[in-house]
Structure 1
Amino acid sequence: MTTILRVEASIKGEAAVSRQLTGRIVERLLAADPAAAIVTRDLSAGVPVIDGAWLGAVFTPAAARDAGQAATAATADALLAEVRAADVLVIALPVYNFGVPAQLKSWIDQLARKGETFVYTETGPKGLLTGKRAIVAYTSDGTPLGSDLDYASGWLRHMLGFFGITDVEFVAADAIVFDRDAALARADAAIAALAA
């Protein structure tokens, strides 16, 4: 059975265009595979920021962790387990100040663990989360996807690839303030064209 991990990142809740797009993308995938399991991770309330305590916790063997380390590592482990179990990731990427939202950055930081999501080899880094597909719902008020001002999509594509997820597609409703209807129509056409 296919597992789809839907990752929401907008602080706008149900009003978010990115949330509307991820919903439509999931509907498209379910139309082709009605038995697929959906897991939703809503990052809008925030994700713990990594720090020295986090580093100590996740790199301490589970049996040797104290209670605080165990609690810290449990969050990171739960986020990683969701990604490992997913065949398809549907990720909301609302652009904030030309970049990724802080909570989405923190989610990626929680996942970036040497020996878990990547390793370094003689020829460079190697991602360990291979065989997955990612569909990113990119939304912005004024930043066109792939423009010189877009510091979000390239970074997310790079990080996913660093983890071994190289099958990455973008569905964009970008530069919405200039022509909302046209932006949404482009996104709908991209969703309809997605291979399910």
Structure 2
Amino acid sequence: MKRSFQINNKMKTLLRIDSSPRKQTSISRQLADVLQEKLEKSEQFSTLKRDVYYDELVTLGNEDSVTAYFTPEDQQTSTQREAVASSNILASEFSKADTYIFSVPMYNFGVTAGLKAYIDLISRAGISFKYTENGPVGLLENKKAYVIITTGGTKLGTGVDHVTGYMKTFLNFLGITDIEFINSDQIMADAEQVIAKATEIINNI
């Protein structure tokens, strides 16, 4: 797989976000590999990758970071600046990308803890959205997101699917409305068939 942490301004940036605590046996990661390869063959990308369950920059916030989010940078204390340093890096990186791949396994009817922490870190006023007199407005328009959702036994699109709507709401909030969902649900019923179907969908993108 192509991995680079050097962004070439002449190339579009593909940012892949993996969120499974499993590495070798993760089906969401496996499908993301297929999609990444497909996209890189169709268009020249500078590809970045964030493994939000294991990336040392993805941490839970604290009182200092929350306070810093609402404090102008030139007025932040050294402790506050340190508290939001990781968030600044991740939010800036996310805002500069052109296309996104999210590999999203469902855990207990929602996204994993690693992904939720990452979303909190990149949802930053002045970077990925802004406040206006009419409410918040996303700053990340004209971008494309692919969201691969895998589940063990839960049927997507039902009342207990709290992943699809959440991911759409979050991305829309940031201004990303061009979203393509690739669903791979109920893997425990027939993993081989589900993976084959999702792979076919990816190959036809």
TM-score clears 0.5:
yes
Q: What is the TM-score of this pair, normalised by structure 2?
A: 0.88
The answer on 1:182 being equivalent to 2:183 is: no
Question: In structure 2, what residue type is equivalent to 1:104?
Answer: L
Please give the per-residue CA displacement for 1:131-186, whole angstroms capped at 9, x wherever unaligned. 11100111110112222221011101101100101111111221000111111011
Within the candidate set 21, 45, 64, 1:36 is matched to 45
The answer on 1:102 being equivalent to 2:102 is: no
Q: Name the structure 1 match of 2:14.
A: 4
Alignment of 1:73-152 (within 5 A): 73-152=84-163
Across the aligned residues of Structure 1 and Structure 2, the Cα RMSD in angstroms comes to 1.6
Further displaced range: 180-189 or 49-58: 49-58
Question: In structure 2, what residue type is equivalent to 1:32?
Answer: S
Q: Which has the higher helix share?
A: 1
Runs of 4+ off more than 4 Å: none
Q: What is the TM-score of this pair, normalised by structure 1?
A: 0.92
Shift of 1:122: 4.3
Alpha-carbon distance between aligned partners in 1 of 2:134 and 2:92, rounded to the nearest angstrom: 27
Shift of 1:56: 1.6
Determine if contact 2:91/2:123 at 8 Å carries over to the other structure.
no
The answer on 1:14 being equivalent to 2:28 is: no
Shift of 1:111: 1.8
Structure 2 residues not aligned, in runs of 5+: 1-10
Residues paired across the two proteins, number: 193
Determine if contact 1:87/1:133 at 8 Å carries over to the other structure.
yes
Alpha-carbon distance between aligned partners in 1 of 2:90 and 2:125, rounded to the nearest angstrom: 15
SS of aligned partner of 1:129 = coil
Shift of 1:53: 1.5
Q: Name the structure 1 match of 2:4.
A: none
